[in-house]
Structure 1
Amino acid sequence: MLAVSVMLYGKGAVTDAVADPNLKKLFDIGVAGLTLMVPFLAAYIGYSIAERSALAPCAIGAWVGNSFGAGFFGALIAGIIGGIVVHYLKKIPVHKVLRSVMPIFIIPIVGTLITAGVMMWGLGEPVGALTNSLTQWLQGMQQGSIVMLAVIMGLMLAFDMGGPVNKVAYAFMLICVAQGVYTVVAIAAVGICVPPLGMGLATLIGRKNFSAERARNRQGGTGDGLCWRY
């Protein structure tokens, strides 16, 4: 929505509230989504490790880290730390009276204290400094550096097709977007689209080398590639 509002505004700039208040509201909705993406990313990284009990600790930890400018790197770290903390908290033996409230009350509170505490007094500031240094480096990149970055990001995005390595590269792209460095988005878009398009073309040209099920999935994979859906 943020990108659509800028595109419809037609001046390659942030929508002006006086010139077009409706587009400005659409822009603000997009900004809200981008802001919430940081805690949401951490929450679902934690969910993948320790399920529902990790949602709140990871989201709050990422929000605390973001107050130091840690951004999406902070979200990755908070999600992993919070998920691991909650995973081990769930393994602690407790009296049967407490078992019913552990996953909905005690574990989220203790997990939040630990995860947010690590980000507040430990990792938040250094990760924020790292993100800031990275932003400055990106803004000062020369042509040769951009080509090398494109090669590295392309390899990471295609390495495990949506796995952890891919997610690190994608989070790096989100950091760049949040800091106003949009060159990396074009790099990531190509890196994301090429694998499914390549596989779709391979199943079309060498159909006999693929099972019937994989051949049937060609249309969906090709469509995903065309739509930049990973």
Structure 2
Amino acid sequence: MKFVAVSSCPTGIAHTYMAAEALEQAGAAAGHQVVVETQGAAGSVPLDPAVIADADGVIYAADLEVRDKERFAGKPFVDVGVKKAVHDAPGVVAAAVAAVESWTPADAAAAPAAASGGPATKVDSNASVGTRIRQWLMTGVSYMIPFVAAGGILIAISFMLAQIAWGKTGVVDVTKVPLDHLLNSFDAGSLKDWAAVTFQTGNAAFAFLVPVLSGFIAYAIADRPGLVPGFVGGAVSVAIGAGFLGGLVTGFLAGFVALWISRWRVPKGVRGVMPVVVIPLLSSLVVGIVMFVLIGQPIAAAMKGLSSWLNGLSGSNLILLGALLGAMMGFDLGGPINKVAYTFAITGLATTGLAQDAVQYRIMAAVMAAGMVAPLAMALATVVRKHLFTHAERENGKAAWLLGLSFISEGAIPFAAADPWRVIVSSVVGSSVAGSLVMAFGSAQRAPHGGIWVLPLITNWWLFLVAVAVGMVVMAAIVIALKSAKPNPIVQAEEAADERAELVGATV
């Protein structure tokens, strides 16, 4: 059979492309053709209409609403989460085959209509309250991350240039260059001016962090009516110092208020102005009053207290925090717990007025180092003890080198899916070691992503690499020891088949 598929994940970075590759390989192994459109952070190249027309069925491996879904109307389909495609691609392909075989014209008529255009999100209205809260939150975080990445890397680059231009005081000096100078007297030959303009651009990107978070949480809850009060609430949070915590609160508040107002029964003459005037006006007013008058200051005080607590950490407390965050990064490899640790780290990047080696930036470095460990360790293990891994795992190990170096923890998922407890236990230990060592070494960074590709932006980068290497070796050693204690029967069967093939070849 011929299938077309669409893959997407909340962040659009790793799972999107891993699911696509897994589906294509599983389809080929089963004798089917699967052509995948990846709707990731880098955008997407739409499937050829001729390919869609020729397809027997459709596979949606998506955690976000599929864009332009009407292209696939009338075709048999299966709709699974992106992780299902990564962990069990053969099962997804088999389900798609079954859907095609059992499809009837009545099913086509009853198929849901395509979603309206707009920013992508996917919230299961039939899921539990906890699951929906996580989906609302992850929608906001997924749209926020590109702003954090752009702003953080630009600011880190500006500091690097400033230290070359001004010397040791450059990190402070670059923040003092007035905007009037850049607007009216910019000198293309001055490294100081380039550092200043890069810093201001990064700051501008960071200014959107909390409003985007709040706006898209509200959007996930109430659809388009939630955008305006969500963005307004995020801007208010920034203005009163409530920061990231305020953005979380205003996102949920704006979403539910906008949803409530949008469900009012109003006369026909008023319906036309509801989405344009009434809903944004009233919901923004409610959010503004609640934040300015009622809860804004307590949230701001909580944010100040959290910053003070972090800045007060030192010595063994920092090492323990690094170990905890590292263990969370290594536990589910891009899952909810991993995302909690990562989100906690990137929120610190938006804090203004911090020294270059502030605790918030050390946390980001610890989280990134820990997130690199699992794929690198599994890649190392497949090289050191090949006989413990299947042929497919050895191939995955080759790709895991690049994924690990690029801070894509999901590179270890194929190994964890095949042998969960051995890989996850090893990952938690190795990642916690890396996180604690980064804290002990004092490495820090503003860039929220990139792995070794942003190494020049990391302070004490050589010690950062040492921490990653130690964590990698520790995890690889543990996983090798655990796998050696109980050999994998699949690996043994493959070895026996290889030996038979060698004997036949020698005989011939």
Is this a same-fold pair by TM over 0.5?
yes
Tell me which structure has the larger Cα radius of gyration.
2
Distance apart, 1:201 and its partner CA: 7.4
- Who is 2:320 aligned against? 148
For 1:116, the aligned partner's letter is G
Contact in 1 for aligned 2:215/2:230 (Cα 8 Å): yes
- Who is 2:218 aligned against? 46
CA distance in 1, matches of 2:294, 2:381: 49
- CA 51–21 in structure 1, closer or farther in 2 if over 3 Å, else same: same
CA distance in 2, matches of 1:49, 1:165: 22
Distance apart, 1:226 and its partner CA: 3.1
- After superposition, where does 1:3-42 map in structure 2 within 5 Å? 3-10=156-163, 11=167, 13-14=171-172, 16=174, 17=177, 20-42=192-214
Distance apart, 1:157 and its partner CA: 4.5
Contact in 1 for aligned 2:213/2:248 (Cα 8 Å): yes
Please state if 1:123 is matched with 2:315. no
- Who is 1:81 aligned against? 253
After superposition, the C-alpha distances for 1:154-184 in whole angstroms (9 at most, x for unaligned) are 3445566666655554443234221423111
Moved over 6 A (4+): 198-205
CA distance in 2, matches of 1:97, 1:89: 16
- After superposition, where does 1:58-207 map in structure 2 within 5 Å? 58-157=230-329, 168-177=340-349, 178-179=351-352, 180=354, 181=358, 182-194=361-373, 206-207=389-390
For 2:405, the aligned partner's letter is L
CA distance in 2, matches of 1:114, 1:19: 47
The answer to which structure, 1 or 2, has the higher relative contact order (CA under 8 A, 6+ apart) is 1
Alpha-carbon RMSD? 3.2
Distance apart, 1:31 and its partner CA: 1.1
SS in structure 1 of the partner of residue 208 of structure 2: helix
Distance apart, 1:68 and its partner CA: 2.1
For 2:209, the aligned partner's letter is M
CA distance in 1, matches of 2:288, 2:335: 26
Contact in 2 for aligned 1:15/1:27 (Cα 8 Å): no
Distance apart, 1:198 and its partner CA: 6.4
For 1:9, the aligned partner's letter is A
- CA 90–222 in structure 1, closer or farther in 2 if over 3 Å, else same: farther
CA distance in 1, matches of 2:255, 2:374: 30
Distance apart, 1:63 and its partner CA: 1.4
- CA 145–47 in structure 1, closer or farther in 2 if over 3 Å, else same: same
Structure 1: runs of 5+ lacking an equivalent: none
Distance apart, 1:26 and its partner CA: 0.8
For 1:183, the aligned partner's letter is R
CA distance in 2, matches of 1:202, 1:98: 66
CA distance in 2, matches of 1:64, 1:165: 29
Distance apart, 1:132 and its partner CA: 0.9
SS in structure 2 of the partner of residue 103 of structure 1: helix
Q: How many residue pairs were aligned? A: 225
- CA 98–137 in structure 1, closer or farther in 2 if over 3 Å, else same: same
Distance apart, 1:197 and its partner CA: 5.3
SS in structure 2 of the partner of residue 94 of structure 1: coil
Distance apart, 1:195 and its partner CA: 5.4
SS in structure 1 of the partner of residue 300 of structure 2: helix
Contact in 1 for aligned 2:161/2:192 (Cα 8 Å): no
CA distance in 2, matches of 1:44, 1:203: 41
For 2:237, the aligned partner's letter is G
State the TM-score, normalized to the length of structure 1: 0.79
Distance apart, 1:202 and its partner CA: 8.7
State the TM-score, normalized to the length of structure 2: 0.39
